[in-house]
Amino acid sequence: MTANLPDPMIPTPFVVQKVKRETSDTYTLDLTRAEGAANFAFAPGQFNMLYAFGAGEAPISISGDPARPETLVHTVRDVGNVTRAICRLKRGGVLGVRGPFGVPWPVDRVAGQDVLIIAGGLGLAPLRPALYHLLNHRGEFGNIEVIYGARTPKDLLYLRELERWRGRFDLRVHVTVDQAEGDWHSNVGVVTKIIGRTRFDPPSTVALICGPGVMMRFTVLELLNRGLKPEQVYVSMERNMKCGIGLCGHCQWGPFFVCKDGPVFRYDRIKAWFDRREV
Residues 192-221 that bind other proteins (CB under 8 A): 192-193, 196-197, 211-212, 214-215, 218
20 binds other proteins per the rule CB under 8 A: no
In contact, 132 and 67? CB cutoff 8 Å: yes
166 binds other proteins per the rule CB under 8 A: no
Residue 226, number of CB atoms within 10 A of its CB: 15
Q: Is 1 exposed, middle or buried (0-12, 13-18, 19+ CB in 10 A)?
A: exposed
Please say which residue, 80 or 204, places its beta carbon nearer to other proteins.
Answer: 80
- Taking CB under 8 A as the criterion, which residues in 91-150 touch other proteins? 92, 94, 96, 120-123, 149-150
Q: Measure the CA–CA gap between 99 and 11, rounded to whole angstroms.
A: 8
Amino acid symbol at 62: I
Q: How far is the CB of 221 from other proteins (least distance, A)?
A: 10
Please say which residue, 114 or 238, places its beta carbon nearer to other proteins.
Answer: 238
8 binds other proteins per the rule CB under 8 A: yes
Q: How far is the CB of 189 from other proteins (least distance, A)?
A: 5
> What DSSP character marks residue 103?
B
Length of the chain: 279
Q: Measure the CA–CA gap between 269 and 259, rounded to whole angstroms.
A: 16
Answer for which of 43, 131, 144, 191 binds other proteins (CB under 8 A) is 191
Answer for which of 22, 27, 44, 57 binds other proteins (CB under 8 A) is 57
155 binds other proteins per the rule CB under 8 A: yes
Answer for which of 230, 247, 266, 269 binds other proteins (CB under 8 A) is 247
90 binds other proteins per the rule CB under 8 A: no
266 binds other proteins per the rule CB under 8 A: no
Cα-based distances in Å from 151 to 23, 75, 132, 156, 157: 12, 18, 24, 8, 11
In contact, 233 and 227? CB cutoff 8 Å: no
38 binds other proteins per the rule CB under 8 A: no
Among the listed ranges 2-10, 125-133, 134-142, 227-235, the one in contact with other proteins (CB under 8 A) is 2-10
Answer for which of 39, 163, 254, 268 binds other proteins (CB under 8 A) is 254
Question: What is Dmax (Cα atoms) for the chain?
Answer: 69
The H-or-E segment that residue 215 falls in is helix 213-225
